[in-house]
Amino acid sequence: MVNVLQDIWIINDGGIVMFHHTFDDKMDEQLFGGLLSALNSFAEELSRGGLKYFELGERNYTILKRAGYLFVANAARNVKPKRMSQELHDVCEIFFNLYSEEILNSWNSDVSIFFDFEKQIENSLEKTMSEFKRAFW
């Protein structure tokens, strides 16, 4: 995995954002999670499989649905959708390896148990300029 994804959200089937990593905190993550959950449900009604990919502004978004969870990520427009999907698939695998079905089924809506997940996927995440500077200055 090589630092492709900018933002990531993991959303449960109720639309609650369980984990998110964003470059810019301008957007309320729970509002975004609810919106994407609703859009995916609408897309599933129209066609089998739901929403998988869309463009918004200067970013491409990819969505992976697995075991009732939506994994959503974005990247710069020059990143190919297939590459984004592979990175997101890798993130998904790490998530389910770290958090067993038992943990997820007994989850009590406390998102703090997922705070350390970012460390597990940092190789997939594009670095902000401040992080880049800290590494080299």
List, for residues 80-126, the tens digit of each pLDDT value. Answer: 989 999 999 999 999 999 999 999 999 998 999 998 898 888 877 76
User: Structure pTM?
Assistant: 0.79
What domains lie within the chain, and their CATH numbers? 7-136 (3.30.450.70)
Residue 133 identity (one-letter amino acid):
K
Q: How many helices (H) and strands (E) does the chain have?
A: 5, 5
Model pLDDT for residues 55-77, shown as the tens digit of each residue: 888 889 898 989 989 899 999 99
Please say whether the beta carbons of 85 and 62 come within 8 A: yes
Residue 132, pLDDT > 50, answer no
Q: Supply 100's token pair.
A: 């067993």
> Residue 52: what pLDDT?
81
The pLDDT value recorded for residue 130 is: 41
